[in-house]
């Protein structure tokens, strides 16, 4: 990797590989999949493909509503291939001199020590309330009607998910929630969607994000999940106190 500093005319080279063979393999894979990530000074490492899709949707929303691209803020985003791996990749990017942040779930207690280590290096970690993943954090923010429409998306796990919703008593038939579904039931519906991997594709994360931002005006900015998303936007925008518009 070349690090060029035009102000003083010095060009330096860094070796991406270090003594960790497993991490080196991850970084090599990332270089092959998304070489553009190495060409931007700022990288948002996403836990997995659902998060990549969600951030892509966020980027589209910023373009449409705020009239700027993440790329215009020198930010790229990358699939970290899983919670623990994403944290390790983010740390390596930081060690190489990139400005790095991470978007990960908060349902793996075993990652706590690594997250604390990254925080000590001033690497922002964007996540949800304890015990939550992206589905269980964001889906309950939608209305019953909006969530029902979202679950008509052409997921590979669509039928399996609706079969489970019927089995658990949240739907009476495919593809319709029971009439008396309560708002408190939405968290359980979200857990089923997560377990069945309904959104486990980049396109799935995009669909989730699109539904969320279409309903953003109905979501309180005091919701912890909304605060997390606005914190991501603030980081993208170089720390300026900006947020997703209503």
Q: What is the pLDDT of residue 2?
A: 45
pLDDT of residue 10: 63
Containing 233, the helix (H) or strand (E) segment is helix 224-236
String of DSSP letters for 53-83: HHHHHHHHHIIIIIS--SGGGTEEEEE-SSH
Mean pLDDT computed over 82-92:
87
Residue by residue, DSSP assigns 122-154 as T--EE--STT--HHHHHGGGS-HHHHHHHTTS-
d(CA 91, CA 225): 24
Q: What are the pLDDT digits (tens) for 110-169?
A: 888 889 999 999 999 999 999 999 999 999 999 999 999 999 999 999 999 999 999 999
Count Cβ neighbours within 10 Å for each residue of 22-53 and write b for 16 or more, e otherwise.
ebeebbeebeeebeebbebebbbbbbbbbbbb
Residue 20 in this model has a pLDDT that exceeds 80: no
Segment 1-15 shows an average pLDDT of 55
Pairing of strands 75-79, 42-46: parallel
Condensed to tens digits (0 to 9), the pLDDT of residues 28-66 reads: 666 667 667 667 899 999 999 999 999 999 999 999 998
Sequence spans of domains, the chain? 2-130+221-236, 135-214
CATH number of 2-130+221-236: 3.40.50
φ, ψ for residue 117, nearest 5 deg: -65, -45
pTM: 0.88
Q: Which tokens go with 40? A: 């931007």
Rounded mean pLDDT of the chain? Answer: 88
């Amino acid at each position: 990797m070349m690090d060029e500093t035009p102000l003083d005319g010095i060009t330096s080279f860094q070796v991406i590989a270090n003594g960790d063979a497993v991490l080196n393999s991850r970084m090599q894979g990332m270089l092959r999949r998304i070489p553009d990530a190495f060409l931007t000074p700022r990288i948002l490492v996403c836990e997995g493909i659902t998060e990549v899709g969600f951030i892509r949707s966020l980027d589209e929303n910023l373009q449409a509503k705020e009239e700027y691209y993440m790329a215009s803020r020198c930010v790229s985003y990358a699939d970290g291939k899983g919670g623990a791996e994403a944290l390790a990749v983010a740390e390596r990017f930081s060690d190489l001199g990139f400005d790095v942040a991470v978007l990960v779930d908060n349902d793996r207690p075993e990652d706590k020590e690594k997250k604390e280590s990254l925080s000590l290096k001033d690497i922002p970690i964007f996540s949800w309330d304890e015990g939550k993943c992206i589905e269980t954090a964001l889906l309950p923010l939608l209305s019953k009607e909006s969530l029902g429409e979202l679950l008509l998306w052409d997921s590979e796990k669509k039928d399996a998910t609706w079969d489970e919703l019927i089995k658990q008593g949240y739907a009476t038939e495919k593809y319709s929630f029971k009439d008396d579904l309560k708002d408190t039931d939405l968290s359980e519906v979200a857990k089923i969607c997560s377990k069945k991997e309904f959104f486990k594709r980049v396109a799935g994360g995009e669909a989730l994000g699109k539904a969320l931002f279409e309903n953003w005006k109905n979501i309180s900015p005091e919701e912890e999940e909304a605060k997390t998303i606005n914190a991501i936007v603030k980081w993208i925008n170089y720390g300026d106190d900006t947020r997703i518009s209503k």
